[in-house]
Structure 1
Amino acid sequence: MSYSSKHLIADRRFGPVFWTQFFGAFNDNLLRNALAILIIMKSLTVGGLSSSQMVALCGGIFILPFFLFSATAGQLADKVSKSRLIFWVKVWEVALMILASCGFLWESLPILLIALFMTGLQSTFFGPVKYSVLPQLLQDDELLSATAQVEMGTFFSILLGTVVGGLLMGIPREGPWLVGLVIIGCSVLGCLASSVIRPIPPVAPQLRIQWNPIPPTMEIMKLTYREESIFLAILVISWFWFLGSAFLSLLPPFCKEFLQADESVITLFLALFSIGIGLGSLLCGRLSRDRVELGLVPTGGMGMSFFAFDLFLAGRPEMSAAGSGGISVAVFLSTFEGLRIAWDLFLFSICGGIVIVPLYTFLQRKPDPAERSRIVAGNNIVNSIFMVAAAILLVGLFEVGCSISSIFLFLAVINLGAVIPAYRAFPDFFLRFLCWLIANFMYRLQVTGTENIPSEGPAVLVSNHVSFVDWLLIASACPRPVRFVMHYKFFEIRLMRRFFRDGKVIPIAGIQENPQILREAFLQITEELRRGQIVCLFPEGRITRDGTKRKFRPGVEWIVRKFPAPVIPIALNGLWGSFFSRKYGRPMSKPFRRFWSRIAVAIGKPVPPHEVSAERLHDLVSELQGE
């Protein structure tokens, strides 16, 4: 594990931001849950609404500011110093928690509703800086770990706040004032944490703030539409919140109506959901190797659909662990069905954490720094729309008589429909991650020199050609998607054709075989480099038949003359004699050899375009091989 993933919370740059958001999310959820319990216990209402309608109304009151003021909040976060904005937002929170405490002590619903709306407004102004501040404090290679820990901390604080709110309100007489004491104390702790965030200069001080929320909202939505990849990332994030809010809304009636379980099982489910998101966030950091692995998004999405579908199977009435009255956690977990449902929910949540972290990290890295906070604000607006849509959808499905288990099935199916566009948006990232999984399953890869791959901009990779999986190992080792150049005959394999097309593989032929394909290949290589992509060539022209490296062909020289780009030599060691090599004759015709053997991928330093020659690259690859 890298330094960033082990020590970031203790780091002076990140720790204060983490604890500021942790105490803020804890307070939000403690306040909301305590208010919901108070409304139900005391039958507090306005306008003749029922207690259940009041609880639903509270959710709408809290989320309303996200619709109205996210755009203005995004503008403000880009205009002023984010560190000072966070501090004053947290001072505002202290005042709001004092107001809410008075509402709990006096059992005044109007005061509590005002405090709830203002807390939602305060969260609206904190939202854009919560993520956009990180790129100004941390290095690029630390962002993914930081985002994973923010997500883990957020969902753990949501769980903790929800549970503590319920426990405190369950204490006779002292409950309301204890709630007030805790929320004031946590708001003060959050304020203290925010006061030591490092000073951050504003990124767009010339920006004009529009206090009328409609024009900036329209402007920010246009900003999010402008770049397709950013808008698609926002849509997928919002879809996650759509599914998450739908699942959280379904858990209480699922426990009561289908499982005949008591409140302790609901608490268990909430705990599994929050802990699963947190663990999924951390797991994503490990799988991503501190890089933005958008390939994890469709992978996690498919996992969410699978476990939602199994919840449908396990949640049918005839399969539930129904008993007389409400069953406890111990009884519920003593049954096979109970364990299955708990694991489904837990693994569903882990997959959700895997989905969300790369997207939030992408949303921090991709936008222009001067627009980052407004992009995050636009994301918050779309998130809110999707969460409201989820609530409306559930009301409609219940209205037409759908059972809860059938809704799980419905969500699993429509989520698969969302996974397909996610794959189409980032196919090369997904395929690269798939290559990494396959390569690390077959072999113990030892990769050195990844720091020699530029984080952005064009480059040409050249490697020795030992086996039919050389491309797979290079794709796994490279921190960016690679455009491989392969012999056009491989495209005639029907099963691989779609795979190569989605991976943007470039077909090539010898000049004697098909000069037209050769010309088109060089034109396509030049175009990919012009677009800032990485292209990989195997200059030997074919896989070695005797384990020795053949002379490099001069095609790479022509390429860098047409488009000057650095050339990076790569050496593959340990593949000769493998199942995919020609050492024993026809490859892949004998039993699999050397499973889990050590394979070394050595990446050399870039060679400037004006110094490139086929002979020099051949010698550099030989040096990397230790020859």
Structure 2
Amino acid sequence: MSHDLQDPGSAGHPSQFALLGQRRFAPFFWTQFLGAANDNLFKFALTVMLTYQLQLSWLQPAQAGLVIGALFILPFVLFSATSGQLADKHDKAALMRLIKSLEILIMALAAWGFWTTQVPALLACVFLMGLHSTLFGPVKYAYLPQQLNERELTGGNGMVEMGTFVAILLGNVAGGLLIATPEVGARHVALGGLLLALAGRATAQAIPASPATDPELRINWNPVSETWRNLKLAHGQLAVFRSLLGISWMWFFGAVFLSNFPAFAKEVLQGNEQVASLLLVVFSVGIGIGSLLCEMLSKRHVEIGLVPLGAIGMSVFAIDLYFASRALPPASQALSLGAFLAQAAHWRVLADLALLALFAGLYSVPMYALIQLRAQPTHRARIIAANNILNALFMIASSLLAGVLLGAGLSIPQLFGLLGLANAVVAAYIFLVVPEYLLRFVAFIASRCIYRFRLSGEQHIPAQGAAVLVCNHVSFVDAVLLMAASPRPIRFIMDHRIFRIPVLGWLFRLAKAIPIAPQKQDPATCEAAFARAREVLDEGELLCIFPEGGITRDGQLQPFRGGVMKIIEDRPELPVVPLALTNLWGSFFSRVEQGQAMVRPFRRGIFSRVGLVAGTPLIAAEVSPEGLQQRVGQLLAAPPA
């Protein structure tokens, strides 16, 4: 089994779209799609009705959107902690059916409210639909890792993310069109919302069983203490906790753009309502495309190396949007959609928005997948619920901060540019605090932009639990390529001298590589390395050792030393995975020039083919240095898979 990191079609696995033909995913996908569409049809139609069609003494038209947004977000703050517990305690399919039945009742009340123009009832339904979404969110994201394997998780999340934004777009468009129908618009909205709720309940009926992960859980009804407990639990896994903050920042970032599109279209782009709608369409399509690209770029693994790439793109195009908005031609009146598109300067604005949104999709999808993969299964839904609370709080904070900055005289383009700069600072903080993101990004770039990296037998690298990886040592970037091959972090035992090399030494220190020196030369460093290696295995992590003791100087496999036996001596059942790096000898980072590496750039051009072959794991009790050397030699001699 192999896949070429330059050729997504060679993986031999169906694409993420194939999931739409499978019962474990398709009913769930359409259930969440219809729910998101209904949320936005109802909210947008009500906003338009209160803004343009009704005159209320107690609710000004300009405040309608703010009130509706606040009512919808409030349940996320109040009830997310409880909803996460319910999702961990009960079968997720049964819970989704119950939630969709609740949606029918809410839409029935909303239909009566639209039919009779009962605004208080409709505002109550906004709160109730927020409750519906609050209950559904943790179930949605906790369901996926129970039904999809690691290689499907990124694609599944990409489909859900894409579907959500398409549903938001279609719901807003449908809500606007239906409510604008003369005389009978409110009735059409009432009927549309009820039909979508019924359709969602019908698709939910086909969702397969998804057993409770913690059926004995006792519900803590105090949302404050439960939220704090879940955040502390998530903080125990630093990568998970920083991912929660990263996702919440993405919602902070996106909310500023989405909430300011109407004013941006009117005041800066000097366009009419159709132009404002076009901005929403472009942004939604960009998010959808970026979400779908994640699976192709990650080659169907959870690839958090995409997160720094997404963050860079978000900042670059947010800042360029500021500059693009300063170079627009003046207009004497509001531009129609056709007149807006007829001016070339506006296409740069649309391109910036589309690419900004695309990179936001690349940024968010791997983070969701990482949380689902790494969070404790028994607490997964509660951690996701805590994330929903953080998302809501960050979105509220973004609205308040944007309002303060705009009120202080900042223009909307300046706000966008400032947000791009802030995004760069926040991303740098996250990636330095949790270097795994940055390391995976370096590995991602190396395996796609410097080499064409082909991986065979990746199923032999354990997805869970402790294991020792044993690999030949060909170049100074062996560890980087191994990072790209594994969906999990790897801790490396490396020659202490490599830490003196500029850039690479900093990179390996960031990766928490373990320095080792010969026993005769530095016994203290040697013993400390073995002690730390055993701690890594006790923590259930992957440990990699290069038993040759140094980088080969002639391209041939050198004798394996016995250090690996000292690591595994008291762990007879520990998996030991033989690995073989192929075709790296002769590359820029190998010692091909009189024992020196990194002498002649582009010796083999760019995108030179290299590979990694993973062999069948052995158990530690059956391992010997000579046997491991023979097995790695066999992998090197085997023809490409």
Q: What's the TM-score once normalised by structure 2's chain length? A: 0.92
AA aligned opposite 2:264? F
In the TM superposition, 1:221-620 aligns within 5 A as 221-225=231-235, 227-316=237-326, 319-561=327-569, 565-585=574-594, 586-595=596-605, 596-620=607-631
- SS at 2:569's partner residue? helix
Distance 1:510 1:207, change over 3 A: closer
Asked if 1:51 corresponds to 2:37, the answer is no
String of CA shifts for 1:404-430, please: whole Å, max 9, x gaps: 111112211222222123213431343
AA aligned opposite 2:54? S
- SS at 1:8's partner residue? helix
CA contact (8 A) 1:488 1:507 kept: yes
Of 36, 41, 61, the residue aligned with 2:52 is 41
CA contact (8 A) 1:526 1:563 kept: no
In the TM superposition, 1:12-31 aligns within 5 A as 12-31=23-42
In the TM superposition, 1:201-220 aligns within 5 A as 201-210=211-220, 213=223, 216-220=226-230
My pick for the range that moved more, 580-589 or 235-244, is 580-589
Provide the C-alpha distance between the structure 2 equivalents of 1:15 and 1:124, rounded to a whole number of angstroms.
22
- SS at 1:602's partner residue? strand
My pick for the range that moved more, 54-63 or 294-303, is 294-303
Provide the C-alpha distance between the structure 2 equivalents of 1:369 and 1:345, rounded to a whole number of angstroms.
37
Tell me what 1:624 maps to.
Answer: 635
CA contact (8 A) 1:255 1:265 kept: yes
Distance 1:169 1:375, change over 3 A: same
Provide the C-alpha distance between the structure 1 equivalents of 2:209 and 2:609, rounded to a whole number of angstroms.
47
Deviation at 1:213, TM superposition (A): 4.8
Indicate the percent of aligned positions where both proteins have the same amino acid.
Answer: 43
String of CA shifts for 1:460-518, please: whole Å, max 9, x gaps: 22222333333333222233222233322222234333222111122223344433333
CA contact (8 A) 2:91 2:212 kept: yes
Distance 1:571 1:323, change over 3 A: same
CA contact (8 A) 1:26 1:157 kept: yes
Gaps in structure 2 of 5+ consecutive residues: 1-7
CA contact (8 A) 1:306 1:412 kept: yes
Gaps in structure 1 of 5+ consecutive residues: none
AA aligned opposite 1:27? N
CA contact (8 A) 2:100 2:197 kept: yes
Provide the C-alpha distance between the structure 2 equivalents of 1:504 and 1:363, rounded to a whole number of angstroms.
22
- SS at 1:198's partner residue? coil
Deviation at 1:80, TM superposition (A): 2.6
CA contact (8 A) 1:436 1:477 kept: no
Distance 1:113 1:504, change over 3 A: same
Deviation at 1:215, TM superposition (A): 5.2
Distance 1:220 1:577, change over 3 A: closer
RMSD: 2.2
Provide the C-alpha distance between the structure 2 equivalents of 1:432 and 1:361, rounded to a whole number of angstroms.
15
String of CA shifts for 1:427-469, please: whole Å, max 9, x gaps: 1343133223212223322211111111122222222233333
Q: What's the TM-score once normalised by structure 1's chain length? A: 0.94
Asked if 1:100 corresponds to 2:110, the answer is yes
CA contact (8 A) 1:155 1:278 kept: yes
CA contact (8 A) 2:308 2:441 kept: no
Provide the C-alpha distance between the structure 1 equivalents of 2:500 and 2:141, rounded to a whole number of angstroms.
46
Provide the C-alpha distance between the structure 2 equivalents of 1:399 and 1:605, rounded to a whole number of angstroms.
64
String of CA shifts for 1:170-215, please: whole Å, max 9, x gaps: 3222322222222121111101001111123333333334556555
Distance 1:203 1:508, change over 3 A: closer
Deviation at 1:572, TM superposition (A): 2.1
Distance 1:269 1:527, change over 3 A: same
Distance 1:482 1:375, change over 3 A: closer
Distance 1:59 1:289, change over 3 A: same
CA contact (8 A) 1:38 1:44 kept: no
Asked if 1:193 corresponds to 2:203, the answer is yes
CA contact (8 A) 1:526 1:562 kept: no
Distance 1:583 1:525, change over 3 A: same
Deviation at 1:540, TM superposition (A): 2.0
Distance 1:186 1:492, change over 3 A: same
String of CA shifts for 1:308-341, please: whole Å, max 9, x gaps: 111121122xx12331212233333343431211
